[in-house]
């Protein structure tokens, strides 16, 4: 049995589908999990789908994925633009990782243009709503 793909979600993504639908869409995080389950199954993988609002917990998830996972799809949410700790954690694991975003941060406020995570992952997919997760899984499975 192959190791699962870890899908890690950062702060406030638990609110998905309840606010700002024009930016983040109408699907809930649970809907996104279902979409990821289906795509991963088609690719021959199981997923471990996680969310936290706490930076240290997200670091623990990344380390756990390094030990027990085949790879990482991560939406670091606002920590994308602030977290050296997440950058370091992603660099410290030996599994491939893909950064994904629902929206296209480059088209939004200037503070969203900097990603500390981008320099530590294989690549970034953004701007496709829930499809960013699907595209991220596809890209990751090509790397594993």
Active-site position among 79, 101, 116, 133: 101
Of residues 35, 43, 78, 85, which one binds ligand CA2 by CB under 6 A?
A: 78
Instruction: List C-alpha distances in Å: 108 to 86, 95, 112.
Output: 22, 30, 7
112 is an interface residue for ligand CA2 by CB under 6 A: yes
Residue with the two structure tokens 């941060």: 105
Find the residue with minimal CB distance to ligand CA2: 103
Of residues 51, 75, 83, 141, which one binds ligand CA2 by CB under 6 A?
A: 75
97 is an interface residue for ligand CA2 by CB under 6 A: no
- Catalytic site residue 101? yes
Instruction: List C-alpha distances in Å: 119 to 19, 21, 97, 101, 128.
Output: 30, 29, 11, 15, 21
Q: How far apart are CA 133 and CA 136, in angstroms?
A: 5
Looking at beta carbons only, is 6 or 24 nearer to ligand CA2? 24
- Catalytic site residue 24? yes
């Amino acid at each position: 049995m192959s190791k699962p793909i870890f899908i890690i979600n950062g702060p406030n993504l638990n609110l998905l589908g309840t606010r700002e639908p024009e930016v983040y869409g109408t699907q809930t995080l649970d809907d996104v999990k279902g979409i990821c389950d289906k795509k991963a199954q088609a690719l021959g993988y199981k997923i471990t789908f996680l969310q936290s609002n706490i930076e240290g917990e997200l670091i623990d998830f990344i380390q756990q994925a390094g030990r027990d996972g085949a790879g990482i799809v991560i939406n670091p949410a606002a920590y994308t633009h602030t977290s050296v700790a997440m950058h370091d954690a992603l660099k410290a694991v030996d599994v491939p990782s893909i950064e994904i975003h629902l929206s296209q941060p480059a088209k939004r406020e200037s503070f969203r243009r900097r990603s500390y995570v981008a320099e530590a992952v294989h690549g970034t997919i953004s701007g496709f709503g829930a499809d960013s997760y699907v595209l991220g899984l596809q890209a990751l499975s090509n790397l594993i």
